[in-house]
Amino acid sequence: MSSESNRTLEKGLDMLFQFTEKKPVLSVKEIMELLDLSRSTVYRLLETLKNKELIQDCGSGQYSLGLNVFQLSKIAKTGMNLINMATPIMEELSQETGETAILSGLVNNQAICIDRIESSQTIKLAFERGRMHPLHAGASAKVLLAFMEIERQDRTLEELKRENLIDDINMFKESLKKVKDQGYVVSSDEMDLGAWAVAAPIFGANGDIIAGLSVAGPDFRINSNQKEKITNLLLAKVKRLNEKLKLAEINYI
């Protein structure tokens, strides 16, 4: 494949990633602004993606993801054995705690929300699937960083330092050691104001961390006794999930 074809493919993929749960429909103008592309280039890419049913025309210059995206998503999820095993446990967690259960993984040294089961309560925290954020803050991110392989952890901390997201590497590393020693991490007001969360690591059969499972909710609703109960419940569920993954010899998401 030529370099020009690679650039065209990259632009097409970038276009697909502009569609989110908050913005499932985009206009040509919005796509042009988001990707800094000319109108003619956007139309040419849209036409190619429409032919593959990855984009569909909603009329009036509006576009959304096509049916083949949903088919690919279905195929991908079928192959994600961790998600299949984690989903019923996440449903139990959400039902028993009344809060949102979140499955997080690592992508390019950032935490990403792979899946979540939302709280049934009226006031709840919303975590979009695909939402990404740095590893320095939030229980779902910190648990991934704390249990990460040491060399990768060191490189990640250096990167966070360069980006001015942490002040002192040694102090931060010491806090991660405490997380690893206790087996879970708690956060409050770190990613979202008024949010409380607790997260524990999910290990593959080889013993390496592959994901994190957390429970999150508004701090005002969760008293200290409930926080302790949620933490113990999460640890019990994660232990069960880790045992299943080991038996199934799963080492990936």
Residue 206 · residue 149 · CB < 8 Å:
no
Residue 122 · residue 149 · CB < 8 Å:
no
Residues 34 and 58 in one domain: yes
Domain CATH code at residue 50: 1.10.10.10
Residues 54 and 176 in one domain: no
Domain span holding position 9: 3-71
Last residue of a domain, one of 45, 71, 97: 71
Residues 108 and 47 in one domain: no
Residues 49 and 92 in one domain: no
Q: Is residue 253 part of a domain?
A: no
Domain CATH code at residue 211: 3.30.450.40
pLDDT digits (tens, 9 = 90+) for 148-168: 999 999 999 999 999 999 999
> What would the two tokens of residue 67 be?
């049916």
Strands 110-117 and 100-107: antiparallel
Residues 144 and 227 in one domain: yes
> Could you tell me how many residues make up the chain?
253
Could you tell me which residues are beta bridge partners of residue 127? none
Using a cut of 0.75, tell me whether the model's pTM lies above it: no
Check whether 79 has a pLDDT greater than 70. no
**DSSP classification of residue 125:** -
Last residue of a domain, one of 71, 90, 105: 71
Last residue of a domain, one of 22, 38, 71: 71
Could you tell me which residues are beta bridge partners of residue 117? 101
Report the pLDDT value the prediction gives residue 156, as an integer from 0 to 100.
Answer: 94
Percent of the chain whose pLDDT exceeds 90: 70
The most confident of the ranges 1-5, 9-13, 106-110, 191-195 is 9-13
Q: Is residue 252 part of a domain?
A: no
pLDDT digits (tens, 9 = 90+) for 173-187: 999 999 999 999 999
Residues 62 and 170 in one domain: no
Check whether 84 has a pLDDT greater than 60. yes
Residue ranges with strand state E in the chain:
25-27, 55-59, 62-65, 100-107, 110-117, 132-133, 185-188, 195-203, 209-218
Residues 100 and 208 in one domain: yes
Q: What DSSP line would sit under 168-221, residue for residue?
A: -HHHHHHHHHHHHHHT-EEEESSSSTTEEEEEEEEE-TTS-EEEEEEEEEEGGG
Number of domains composing the chain = 2
Residues 202 and 142 in one domain: yes
